[in-house]
Amino acid sequence: MTPIKLNLPHIAPLPFWARHHSFAHHGLVIFLVQIGLLALVPILDDGNPLMPLPYTASVLAGSSFTIFCLGYRRLAATFVVAGAIGLAFVASMPHHDQVIRFPTMIVLLLGYGLSVYLAIYQAFAGDLTSAQRILCGAASFVMIGFVFAVAHGLVHYIHPDSYTLATQAEQLRTRRWLDFLWLSFSTLTTAGFNDVIPVTPWPCTLATLEGLCGILFPATLIARIASLPPGKKSGSSHAP
């Protein structure tokens, strides 16, 4: 008896960076996650110069969840594992100084940088409704602030004299992670309160780039929405 051979189609495995289907309302979910992370700042702040471990874990979880919501599940799982290893290593150390925290800060910067890139790419894609596009853009704007806050913290770690505080009384205290978060969002929103002042070339360049992002990103997003045909704005991805 001749065996029957089934010619099944060969299904190639998905690459590591392959994108699955994103959530139906991923723009709203991602935006609410970023607002929630900002709301956690006064709750989890412990008064120390370094970012508290619970807030570091929350930010890592927020960036990984953002990547997951956008459909990149394997990348999200990778950053979850890397962040968990880094946090477990830091928690096992008796002293949580900046040297111990440095690898975790790098993972945090990479994770949030990737989530910002993917969210911006989604915000400018052609198959979104205007509401989801605006929410993805708003979430990306908040995430840009977090990315630059971590970048300012890394610059301060490498060159401690790169930033100064506005008043002489404030200069006597130690720089805190909240100072760089405040500097980042006040620069991004072009508020410019001048509480924390960059004084060397690297942080000045970083602040300049962030200020440009704060001006150009909303303008380009609005231009993108305005350039779409009416069918695309209303959410029909099959409009002629």
| pLDDT string in tens for the chain (240-residue length) | 555 554 545 444 445 455 655 555 788 899 999 999 999 999 998 888 788 889 989 999 999 999 998 888 888 898 889 888 888 888 887 776 667 777 778 888 888 889 999 888 888 876 777 788 888 899 999 999 999 998 998 898 888 888 988 776 566 677 888 889 999 999 999 887 778 889 999 999 999 999 999 999 999 988 888 887 655 555 544 333
Phi and psi based region of residue 72 (left: phi greater than 0; alpha: psi -120 to 50; beta: remaining)? beta
> Domains of the chain by range and CATH?
26-228 (1.10.287.70)
Contacts for 67 with CB less than 8 Å, ≥ 6 apart: 75, 76, 79, 111, 114, 115, 118
Instruction: Flag whether the pTM goes above 0.85.
Output: no
How many Cβ atoms are within 10 Å of 143's Cβ, its own excluded?
26
Contacts for 180 with CB less than 8 Å, ≥ 6 apart: 149, 150, 152, 153, 156, 163, 196
Q: Cα Rg for the chain, rounded, in angstroms?
A: 21
Both structure tokens of 39: 């709301």
Task: Please tell me whether residue 124 adopts helix, strand or coil conformation.
Answer: coil
